[in-house]
Structure 1
Amino acid sequence: MMFKTFNLKIISAHFLMILLWASAFPGIRVALTAYSPEHISLLRLLVGSFVLIIIAVITKTPLPAQKDIPIILLLGFLGFTVYQVALNYGEQTISAGVASLLVSTTPIFTALLAVFFYREKLGLSGWLGSLVGFCGVAFISVGGSTGNFVFNTGIILVLIASLSESIYFVFQRRYVEKYGALPFTMYAIWSGTIFMLLFSSGLSEAIMDAPLNATFVTLYLGIFPTIIPYFMLAYVTSRTGAAEATSTLYLTSVFAFLIAWIWLGEVPHFSALTGGLITLIGVFIANIKKEDCIKENNNAQSLN
């Protein structure tokens, strides 16, 4: 029984998914030394879209139905254009670790939006976890990443990014069920790229002027954190279910702090660590009951 539950492939997929998503936060900080927030997102999405086009051709991925294109464009705009640009602007003034902690509120925003739009029941643990999570955000906001009691506008921008991504997650459900997780992700990334083309002016000059390390990091962001984690998430979900697949994503902030410390020398302040811990506890409380229910439903279905 032990060897059945210990699956090296699934564990490796979890680790790779968390590591790559965590690396995006310090990677953005490096890219910001040479590129504007808009150009980082544009170059990142262009690279990701190009790779996905190759994959789509090889796998013969069909295009979405014409009637679904407007909503896919809107979801791609929210989940990738708004999310990435707001996050990039936010990281101009806050550290990579703090940004990752604020983005970890996405499950809370997602749960609250599902209550209002899909009439899902959040339950006592959901409301309690949401309250605890936002108390953690407030602690981070007041203390900031340096311990100064100044409310940083970067925090607001990253929270906007988190809310935008939450809207994307809530309303993608129907289309993920219709097209599958990977094809829909391709459609959404392509959609986000289309909107980012509005900022194409000056990109070629920025690439020529930027140092190679900043450009390589931006290319890395376009391939690794943008594409591979979604494939890993789809792989784990197909074998363990959605609740199990997302159960370890709370560790992303931990790895983001560690990578930023090693890579950028960012030492988190006590207020950021304390607020982050409170936030992660809130996210865990808000989702633990929901995950148990999903697991019970999956187990019941497997017995039928």
Structure 2
Amino acid sequence: MKRVVPILTVILVWSSAYPLIKIALEYVSPIVLAIIRLLVGGIILAIYGKGIIYGKKELIGGLINVGAFMLFLNFGVMYSENPALSATLIYTQPIFLILLSAIFLRRRASVLQILGTIIAISGAIYSAGITGFGLGSIISIIGGLVWAIGTLYYQVFLYSRDIVKLNSFMALISSIFLLPFTPFNYYFKLSLIGISVAVLIGVTAQAVGFIAWFSSIKTLGPFLSSSLSLLVPALSYVFSYVILGIVPTIQQLLGSAIVLAGIFLTIMAGKVRKPTG
């Protein structure tokens, strides 16, 4: 039972983060929220990891994998009617990672990975609606692409780094980098609720979530952890209903299920595929 506690923690804090972000955005603008989240989470990770790792490659990785991704995440949730749909579209990251790996690293995709990609894309189009593919959906999918680019960069240049110290630096440096952009779409309503929720997101989603994720990778391995993490967008629908009272449409639920099935197929294909060469 102890082995699954970390991944259960990840699922709970990350899935509940999407409706909490929606609440926080009623009081603070997306960039301000990102700065608060990254600053709080980065400090906690630095304390937990007993320091940071920094450098030029780490800086680039941080701006892509944390700074840019966080902006697309927040704006995606902001412009989505249901934050859970945004979560589902952001979690198309493995699909983009397969495509980018094939293009830049010349890693051939297997038949199952190609099939999973087609299924996931079909589900994304269906869940958002061909004619109702709004700004929130577009931003969220771009967020998935940015996440994949950052992951690929990490695999190539930063894989050997201490993951906790690396993430603490990337969060902190991204919060500083975002400061000059705060005037963009700026608003800040002084509210105890808004500030508390923003700080809570930094503590849970950015700090506790990543610490639990790293622990899960060690105890369960990357394959099982990645597979179980697909429960995050699924549970986001539950938390969005409980916290915000947002009832998902049948189209959103069915489309999201198709997306997650396709993503799971690509993850499974990566696990069972034998090395070539």
Same-fold call, TM cutoff 0.5: yes
Deviation at 1:163, TM superposition (A): 0.8
**Which residue of 2 is the match for residue 46 of structure 1?**
39
Q: Where in structure 2 are the equivalents of 1:198-213 lying within 5 Å?
A: 198-200=180-182, 206=188, 209-213=189-193
Q: Is the 8 A contact 2:28 2:187 kept in 1?
A: no
More helix by share: 1
**Which residue of 1 is the match for residue 17 of structure 2?**
24
**Which residue of 2 is the match for residue 133 of structure 1?**
120
Which of residues 76, 79, 102 is equivalent to 2:65? Answer: 79
Residues 34 and 205 of structure 1, relative CA distance in 2, 3 Å threshold: closer
**Which residue of 2 is the match for residue 106 of structure 1?**
93
Deviation at 1:175, TM superposition (A): 4.5
**Which residue of 1 is the match for residue 261 of structure 2?**
281
Larger CA deviation: 76-85 vs 238-247: 238-247
**Which residue of 2 is the match for residue 63 of structure 1?**
53
Q: Where in structure 2 are the equivalents of 1:97-176 lying within 5 Å?
A: 97-142=84-129, 149-176=131-158
Instruction: Structure 2: give runs of 5+ residues left out of the alignment.
Output: none
**Tell me, what secondary structure is at the counterpart of 1:17?**
helix
1:215 to 2:195 alignment: yes
Residues 98 and 205 of structure 1, relative CA distance in 2, 3 Å threshold: closer
**Tell me, what secondary structure is at the counterpart of 2:248?**
coil
1:269 to 2:249 alignment: yes
Q: What is the number of residues matched between the two proteins?
A: 273
Deviation at 1:252, TM superposition (A): 0.5
> Quick check: which has more Rg, 1 or 2?
1
Deviation at 1:153, TM superposition (A): 1.1
Residues 205 and 249 of structure 1, relative CA distance in 2, 3 Å threshold: closer
Q: Is the 8 A contact 1:175 1:184 kept in 2?
A: no
Q: TM-score, normalised by structure 2?
A: 0.91
Letter in 2 for 1:90: G
Which of residues 207, 218, 230 is equivalent to 1:250? Answer: 230
Deviation at 1:174, TM superposition (A): 4.1
Residues 62 and 259 of structure 1, relative CA distance in 2, 3 Å threshold: closer
Deviation at 1:121, TM superposition (A): 2.5
Deviation at 1:192, TM superposition (A): 1.6
Summarize deviations over 1:198-226 as a string: whole Å, max 9, x none.
Answer: 23569x993xx332112111001111101
Summarize deviations over 1:80-105 as a string: whole Å, max 9, x none.
Answer: 22111122122222111101110120
Deviation at 1:77, TM superposition (A): 1.2
Residues 176 and 238 of structure 1, relative CA distance in 2, 3 Å threshold: farther
- Whole-angstrom distance in 2 between the partners of 1:282 and 1:89: 25
- Whole-angstrom distance in 1 between the partners of 2:187 and 2:73: 23
Q: Is the 8 A contact 1:243 1:291 kept in 2?
A: yes
Deviation at 1:73, TM superposition (A): 1.6
**Which residue of 2 is the match for residue 260 of structure 1?**
240
Letter in 2 for 1:140: S
Instruction: Structure 1: give runs of 5+ residues left out of the alignment.
Output: 1-7, 144-148, 297-304
Q: TM-score, normalised by structure 1?
A: 0.83
Computed over aligned residues only, the root mean square deviation of the Cα atoms, in angstroms, reads 2.2
Which of residues 169, 177, 195 is equivalent to 2:159? Answer: 177
- Whole-angstrom distance in 1 between the partners of 2:159 and 2:77: 34
Structure 1 runs of 4+ off > 6 angstroms? none
Summarize deviations over 1:251-304 as a string: whole Å, max 9, x none.
Answer: 11111111111000010011111110110111011111212348x9xxxxxxxx
Deviation at 1:240, TM superposition (A): 3.2
Letter in 1 for 2:119: V
